[in-house]
Amino acid sequence: GQNIDQPTEMTATEGAIVQINCTYQTSGFNGLFWYQQHAGEAPTFLSYNVLDGLEEKGRFSSFLSRSKGYSYLLLKELQMKDSASYLCAVMDSNYQLIWGAGTKLIIKP
Amino acid sequence: GAVVSQHPSWVICKSGTSVKIECRSLDFQATTMFWYRQFPKQSLMLMATSNEGSKATYEQGVEKDKFLINHASLTLSTLTVTSAHPEDSSFYICSAKDSRDNSPLHFGNGTRLTVT
């Protein structure tokens, strides 16, 4: 079956760095997405990886290793507003998105 | 950037009535749109995949006669909750995929439905 695994919850300190991991097993692969979702709001797009390696975008970076079925989202210089759920999603061979359950990130001052 | 407009953002209706939610892609064509439902503190649950000009594909357990989906154009999909009941109260979110390959999925802002 298809499966996306990511930690349920993580806690980090304001100003620090946090890495949210995502492992996946899907039928085919057409890219991996990271989304941020604040409580009561719709998800917002953060990053898209289809090739191995690191994609950097400001304070956020996303890494992909297709051979390992693994990705991480790296958040630097954490701010209180980064407290949210972070969703990992993989697009399979049918171009359908398989979603992880999300990682709730709690930022403490 | 690409924008998906979802309307209304919140709606309260009486039990037994129907509610229509619209999802529009404002600056791109979306051959495929997705409808999700999300309960508090839970992840997104895909309800159906809507392809322009054809019938929607519903996920297992989602009643197609209750959640009517219409995707009549490349920029508009609608979800109608028919004969709404209090258990249908939820946060409904649409998303649209740009027709160009490997583009990200863009989400609407969601609709908070409360059935009294």
State the residue for tokens 């051979």.
Answer: A67
Closest-CA distance of chain A to residue B83, Å: 25
Backbone phi and psi for residue A83, each to the nearest 5 degrees, phi listed first = -65, 115
Contact list, B107 vs chain A (CB under 8 Å): 35, 42-45
Residuewise pLDDT in 10s, chain A (109 residues): 789 999 999 999 999 999 999 999 998 998 899 999 888 787 888 988 989 999 998 999 999 999 999 999 999 999 999 999 999 999 888 767 788 989 999 999 9
Under 8 Å between Cβ of A3 and A97: no
Interchain pair A96, B49: CB under 8 A:
yes
DSSP string, B4-64: EEEE-SEEEE-TT--EEEEEEESSS--SEEEEEEE-TT---EEEEEEETTSPPEEPTT--T
The dihedral over CA atoms of B94, A45, A47, B74, expressed in degrees to the nearest 10, equals 40
Q: Which of these, B75, B78, B77, lies nearest to B99 by C-alpha position?
A: B75
| C-alpha torsion sign, points B8, B113, B51, A88 | positive
DSSP string, B60-83: TT--TTTEEEEEEETTEEEEEE-S
Contact list, A48 vs chain B (CB under 8 Å): 102, 104
Interchain pair B43, A97: CB under 8 A:
no
Residuewise pLDDT in 10s, chain B (116 residues): 568 999 999 999 999 999 999 999 998 888 889 999 987 767 778 899 988 888 899 999 999 999 999 988 889 999 999 999 999 999 999 998 877 756 667 888 889 999 99
